[in-house]
Amino acid sequence: MALAKPTQDATDARLDALSIPQDAGWSLAARQEALGRLKLMGMPHRRDEYWRFTNPADFNAVAPVAAPPMDVSDEKPLYEGMEQLRIVFVDGVFDPEASDDLAGEGIEIARLAEAGRADIHWARDLYGLLEARGQSPVDRPLCALNTAFATDGVLIRVTGKVSRPVSIVYRHENATSDAILHHVVQLTEGAELTLLETGCVAARANTVLETDVADHATFHHVRSQGRNHDRRAATAGFARLGRQSTYKSFTLTANGAMTRNEHVVEFTGDDATAHVAAAAIGDGADDPFHNDDTVFITHNAKNCESRQVFKKVLKNGAVGVFQGKILVKKDAQKTDGYQISQALLLDDDSQFLAKPELEIYADDVACSHGSTTGAIDEEALFYLRSRGMPKARAEDLLVLAFLAETLEEIDDEDIAAALNERLAAWLDRHAS
């Protein structure tokens, strides 16, 4: 079926401005297949079912909207003092001077830009695989574009229990930077890793993280997307879970003109667990804020548990979107699927748009979803103020309490505490 002319024109213009890296090496076949998928589906459009709440124009444009870097010198580095292996990208370009040695016990790390030169590499069988599997039943054109044209990324293979987190640190310095990064993580049987992502990737960023979690393996992912007000970011995380494996992902979004975070999780082994959570907080007073979380979890194995916990705090015309789906296939008996999306609107100008979905073909399951939107509890606010607390401080405490459920999804208490401090600092800066 031919694409509609506006979609075809947008697709042609976007593709004409890009080229597959010359040293793609073993990833070339996967890149060409992704390009073929993209040409068939076209760039996203507001008429697409899962883009009706978010305008993809900024991601379809040939050039990014300028986003001047912010001065964040008043903010200490996240996780300061915590032992970690740091990998630094500046506007999507690897910075070897700021990065640590990429060697570690029980872990193998390489860069996509360099690994393609090798004749044989473990990532050859994984690069683009989970992204391709995630294209059905929903088209994800920005992800196909990423697989085809990614200029760099981190390839991580974990064979043991890694004691310190791997921390990918993003720094934004160029007002018109446009980054496409593709990360691949493979955890072999029984392996364990915590992956941290912090900072603003670029003025416009398209990032994909593919995670293959083998039997009995555990993966923790915690991401904080940076303070830059004007940035545009489209991220996607694809995960495949083996038997008795664990996958947990948390994202904190504060600021950002346009942020689209997609999560695509597939259970392929019995008795596995997947938790996906996020906290978003935005103020549209001086700059636009649009945050879109789109989640698709497929249960294709028995006795698996999935949790989706998403909360947003919005003020001064900020917009929040949540689209979450749980698909339970007919043989996925004993599925336990839970989904909650909630928004706290601090004024009448902000809005929260939600589309929770359950599609169930098995008959022995426990699945639930709920979505609520409301204002600050006036009784709770009165209680705090009656004890001498200033109104602004009382409101901040209630906001932090509202978001606390998402932070509880993080197993590491030190990481959760650091993110809670970051949220409190945001509230201080945006006090009425």
Q: What is the pLDDT of residue 6?
A: 83
Q: Residue 274 in contact with residue 306, Cβ under 8 Å?
A: yes
Please report whether residue 298 resides in a domain: yes
Domain membership flag for residue 390? no
Question: What's the confidence (pLDDT) of residue 4?
Answer: 86
Q: Are 194 and 223 in contact (CB under 8 A)?
A: no
Domain extent, residue 302, equals 5-377
Task: Give the C-alpha separation, 297 to 299, whole Å.
Answer: 7
* Average pLDDT score over residue span 123-133: 97
Least confident of 121-130, 243-252, 381-390: 381-390
Please check the confidence at residue 90 and state whether its pLDDT lies above 80: yes
In a domain? residue 401: no
Grade residue 219 by pLDDT with cuts at 50, 70 and 90.
very high
- Does 205 fall in a domain? yes
Give me the pLDDT at residue 118, please: 85
Statement: residue 208 has pLDDT above 80: yes
State the Cα–Cα distance between residues 100 and 167, nearest whole angstrom: 10
Among residues 139, 197, 178, which one has the least CA distance to residue 58? 178
Instruction: Give the single-character DSSP code of 70.
Output: P
Residue matched to tokens 């090798």: 118
pLDDT for res 432: 59
pLDDT digits (tens, 9 = 90+) for 290-303: 999 999 999 999 99
Confidence of residue 226 (pLDDT cuts 50, 70, 90): confident
Return the structure tokens found at 196.
Answer: 């941290």
Q: Give the chain's mean pLDDT.
A: 95
Residue 424 domain-assigned (yes or no)? no
Decide if 60 contacts 10 (C-beta within 8 A). yes
CB burial of residue 117 (10 Å; 0-12, 13-18, 19+): exposed
Number of domains in the chain: 1
Answer yes or no: is 430 within a domain: no
Query: What are the tens digits of pLDDT across the range 321-337?
Result: 999 999 999 999 999 99
In a domain, 397, yes or no: no
Residue 246 in domain: yes
